[in-house]
Amino acid sequence: MTNKLNLKNLTKSEEDYLKALFQLLIEDDSGKVGNNQLADYLKVSPASTNNMIKKLKAKKYVVSEKYGKLELTEEGKSIAVRLIRKHRLWETFLCNYLNFSWDEVHEVAEQLEHIKSQKLVNELDRFMDFPSKDPHGEVIPNADGEYFVLPKITLSSLEEGAVCQLVSVNDASVTFLKYVSEIGLALSSEIKVLEVREFDSSIRIQFNQVEETVTRKFADNVFVKVI
Amino acid sequence: MTNKLNLKNLTKSEEDYLKALFQLLIEDDSGKVGNNQLADYLKVSPASTNNMIKKLKAKKYVVSEKYGKLELTEEGKSIAVRLIRKHRLWETFLCNYLNFSWDEVHEVAEQLEHIKSQKLVNELDRFMDFPSKDPHGEVIPNADGEYFVLPKITLSSLEEGAVCQLVSVNDASVTFLKYVSEIGLALSSEIKVLEVREFDSSIRIQFNQVEETVTRKFADNVFVKVI
DNA sequence: TTAATTTGTTAGTCATAACTAACTTTTTTA
DNA sequence: TAAAAAAGTTAGTTATGACTAACAAATTAA
Ligand SMILES: [Mn+2]
Ligand SMILES: [Mn+2]
Ligand SMILES: [Mn+2]
Ligand SMILES: [Mn+2]
C-alpha cells in the first residue's frame, strides 16, 4: 500500500483520533492505552471514542480486543507520524516566518495539519531548508516518516544537584508556555536543580544567573537532557 | 458588530455558501441569483442550498423572500470578502514561495481559506509585502476588506482588430489553466483579435509573434483590458 | 473472595449537511 | 390565457460525530 493511499479519505476527526492515540502510546511507556484514557485526552465522552475506535478498526488502522487495550497498525502509525510532521512544520513556519510566538502556534497548527496536499507539506519543508526541530524542541519527522523519538526526561524527575539542558516543552498549554518565556527559560537553557522540597515537591532551580522556584506540575512539562 | 465577531463560529459549509453567493452576485451583473443557480455552482442539490439558505437567513447573512432572489447582508458580504482575501493570499504564497504552478493552487487554497486565524492571514500578507494581485490576476482585498472590482471584459466580447492585454483568468479549471500556459499566454500578454469566425464563434488571435485559434469557451474564461 | 470502583460498551438522541422524491409557485411559451 | 417548463420548497432518509444514560466486564480493595 503506497503512501499516497495512506493519507486519503480520512476525516479531520479520524485523523485527530489516530494522532492522539499515537501520542498516548509513546507517552505512556507502559505501551497500554485504554478507551477512557483516549476520551480524557481528546476531551470527548468514552462513548464517542468507543464509536470512533470501531470505525478505525474497520478501516484497519487500529487493533484491539473487546475490553482490551488499543494498538495502532503500521498504517495507523504512518498516518499519525505524517500528521505530526505537518503539525510541527507548520508550527516552525509560523514561528520563524510569520512572527508567531511559541504559545500561539499550536492552535493554528491543529487546523493546518488537516490540509490535504502532499506537495504543500514537502515544499514547506524545503522552503524552510528542512528544519529538524519545531519551536518547542520536538523532532520533525522527515518526508519518509522517519525521526528520532527523544527520550522524555522531565525536569521533575531529577535529583538535587543535577545539571541539565532544556530540550523541549509540552506545547499544548498557552499559559504554561507564556510562563516559561516570562521567567527567562528557553530551549537549550542550562538548568541546575538546587533543591527539591519534600513538602510540596516544588523545585528550586537556577539558570542564566537567576534562581526560581517552580511547582511539580511545571517541572512535569519541561523535558531535559542531563549533562 | 466588530470584524472579529464576523469570522467566528461559521462552519466550512456556511463559509463556502456565502463565498459562492458573493461570487455569483458579482458575476451576474443582473444582480439576481436564484436558489438553483447556487446549487448548480456548488454542485449540490437545490434542496441542499434551500436548506442552507434558511440557516444563513436565520443568522442574518442572507436576505430573501420565499420564491424570491437571494441577497447578502453587509455582514454576509464582509465574511465573503475576507474568505476571498484569504484564498487569494494563499494562492499567491503557494505560487511565489512554494513552487506551485497556477493550475495547482486553487484546490489547496479552497482548504486553506477555512483556517481560522486573523493573525495568520495578516502576517502572511505582511510576509509577502502586501501583494495586490493573485496568480490569476485577481485583486486581493486588503485587511479592511477593501478592493477594486475590476470590470470583467472577456476576450470573447471583443471585435475583430481589437488589441488588449490579458488581465486575469478564471482559476477554477486545472485543464484550462494548463492550456493557457502551454500556448504561451500569461498575465499581461498583449493579444490582438485577428478574426472572429461566425460559423463556430472561434477566434484567431495573435500574441508574442504567435497565432492561435481558440474556442469561444476558451475566450469566455480570459479577461482583458482593451488598449 | 466478595464488594466497590473503574473501565468499557451499547442504545438512543441531537446537530450538521448531504441526498431523492414529491409538491408548489412562478415564469415562459404556445 | 391556459399548458408546459423551470424554479423553488418540503418531507423524509442517510452518514458523521458528538452527547447522556444505562449496563457489563475487569480490576482493585476490603
Ligand atoms: Mn503543537
Ligand atoms: Mn487537529
Ligand atoms: Mn482560486
Ligand atoms: Mn472552500
Delimit the domains of chain B by residue range: 2-75, 153-226
Nucleotide nearest to A48 (CA to C1'): D18
Distance of CA B110 from the midpoint of ligand 4 (Å): 4
Q: Check residue B30 and give its pLDDT.
A: 77
Give yes or no for a contact between A143 and A170, defined as CB atoms under 8 angstroms apart: no
Distance of CA B157 from the midpoint of ligand 2 (Å): 47
| Segment among A4-13, B103-112, B124-133, B148-157 with least mean pLDDT | A4-13
Report the distance from CA of residue A7 to the C1' of nucleotide C18 in Å, as an integer.
23
Report the distance from CA of residue A44 to the C1' of nucleotide D19 in Å, as an integer.
9
Q: Give chain A positions within 8 Å (CB) of B116.
A: 111
Residue contacts between A and B (CB atoms, under 8 Å): 43
As a whole number, mean pLDDT of residues B120-143 equals 98
* Partner-chain contact A98 B120, CB within 8 Å: yes
Instruction: Name the residue with the least CA to C1' distance from nucleotide D10.
Output: B47
Does A124 contact B at CB distance below 8 Å? yes
Q: Check residue A7 and give its pLDDT.
A: 45
3-class SS at B120?
helix
Cα A122 to chain centroid distance, Å, stands at: 20
A145 touches strand C (CB under 7 A): no
**C-alpha cell at position B136:** 490569476
* Partner-chain contact B108 A117, CB within 8 Å: yes
Instruction: Using CB atoms within 10 Å of the CB of residue A11, give its burial: 0 to 12 exposed, 13 to 18 middle, 19+ buried.
Output: exposed
pLDDT band at A6 (very low <50, low <70, confident <90, very high): very low
Share of chain B above pLDDT 90, in %: 89
* Partner-chain contact B108 A115, CB within 8 Å: yes
Q: Check residue A149 and give its pLDDT.
A: 87
Distance of CA B42 from the midpoint of ligand 2 (Å): 26
| Mutation to test the B interface, candidates A86, A115, A129, most B Cβ within 10 Å | A115
Q: Check residue B128 and give its pLDDT.
A: 98
* Partner-chain contact B111 A117, CB within 8 Å: yes
Q: How do residues A208-224 score in pLDDT, each as one tens digit?
A: 999 999 999 999 999 99
| Segment among A3-12, A56-65, B157-166, B181-190 with least mean pLDDT | A3-12
Rg of chain A (C-alpha set): 19
- Phi and psi of A165, rounded to 5°? -125, 135
Closest chain B residue to A114 measured between Cα atoms? B111
As a whole number, mean pLDDT of residues B170-175 equals 94
As a whole number, mean pLDDT of residues A95-117 equals 98
Report the distance from CA of residue B144 to the C1' of nucleotide D18 in Å, as an integer.
36
Distance of CA B106 from the midpoint of ligand 4 (Å): 9
Q: Check residue A8 and give its pLDDT.
A: 64
Dihedral (CA of A5, A11, A16, A21) sign: negative
Q: How do residues A159-215 score in pLDDT, each as one tens digit?
A: 999 999 999 999 989 999 999 999 999 999 999 999 999 988 999 999 999 999 999
Q: Check residue B8 and give its pLDDT.
A: 64
Question: What's the angle, vertex CA A120, arms to CA A118 and CA A123, rounded to 5?
Answer: 105
Q: Distance between CA A180 and CA A208 in Å, rounded?
A: 13
1.10.3720.10, 1.20.120.1770, 3.50.50.60, 1.10.10.10: CATH of A2-75: 1.10.10.10
> How does the average pLDDT of chain A come out, rounded?
94
Question: Which bases of chain C are contacted by protein, using any atom under 7 A from a CB?
Answer: 7-12, 16-22, 25-26
Instruction: Please choose, from the candidates A23, A22, A21, the residue with its C-alpha nearest in 3D space to the C-alpha of residue A35.
Output: A21
* Partner-chain contact A100 B123, CB within 8 Å: yes
Question: What's the angle, vertex CA B16, arms to CA A120 and CA B45, rounded to 5?
Answer: 120
**Domain covering B153-226 in this structure, CATH number:** 2.30.30.90
Does pLDDT of B2 surpass 50? no
Q: Check residue B3 and give its pLDDT.
A: 39
Residues 6+ apart with CB under 8 A from B163: B190, B191, B192, B193, B226, B227
As a whole number, mean pLDDT of residues B189-213 equals 95
Chain B: closest CA distance from residue A112 (Å) = 7
pLDDT band at B4 (very low <50, low <70, confident <90, very high): very low
Q: Distance between CA B87 and CA B171 in Å, rounded?
A: 11
Q: Check residue A31 and give its pLDDT.
A: 75
Q: Distance between CA A5 and CA A93 in Å, rounded?
A: 26
Q: Which of residues 36-65 of A touch strand D (CB under 7 A)?
A: 43-48, 51-52, 55
CB count in 10 Å sphere of residue A105: 27
| Segment among A120-129, B3-12, B96-105, B119-128 with least mean pLDDT | B3-12
Q: Distance between CA A126 and CA B41 in Å, rounded?
A: 36
Report the distance from CA of residue A5 to the C1' of nucleotide D16 in Å, as an integer.
21
Q: How do residues A57-71 score in pLDDT, each as one tens digit?
A: 999 999 999 999 999
Strand ranges (E), B30-172:
62-63, 71-72, 153-154, 163-169
Q: Distance between CA B65 and CA B77 in Å, rounded?
A: 18
As a whole number, mean pLDDT of residues B147-176 equals 95
pLDDT band at B28 (very low <50, low <70, confident <90, very high): confident
Specify the pTM.
Answer: 0.93
Give yes or no for a contact between B95 and B60, defined as CB atoms under 8 angstroms apart: no
Q: What is the DSSP string of B57-88?
A: HHTTSEE--TTS-BEE-HHHHHHHHHHHHHHH
Report the distance from CA of residue A210 to the C1' of nucleotide D22 in Å, as an integer.
56
Q: Check residue B31 and give its pLDDT.
A: 76
Phi-psi region of B28 (alpha: psi -120 to 50; beta: other; left: phi over 0): beta
Q: Residues with Cβ within 5 Å of ion ligand 1?
A: A 106, 171
Q: Distance between CA A176 and CA A222 in Å, rounded?
A: 10
3-class SS at B109?
helix
Q: What is the 3-state secondary structure (H, E, C) of chain A?
A: CCHHHHCCCCCHHHHHHHHHHHHHHHHCCCCCECHHHHHHHHCCCHHHHHHHHHHHHHCCCEECCCCCCEEECHHHHHHHHHHHHHHHHHHHHHHHHCCCCCCCHHHHHHHHCCCCCHHHHHHHHHHCCCCCECCCCCECCCCCCCCCCCCCEEHHHCCCCCEEEEEEECCCCHHHHHHHHHCCCCCCCEEEEEEECCCCCCEEEEECCEEEEECHHHHHCEEEEEC
pLDDT band at A120 (very low <50, low <70, confident <90, very high): very high
Q: Distance between CA B159 and CA B193 in Å, rounded?
A: 7
Does A90 contact B at CB distance below 8 Å? no
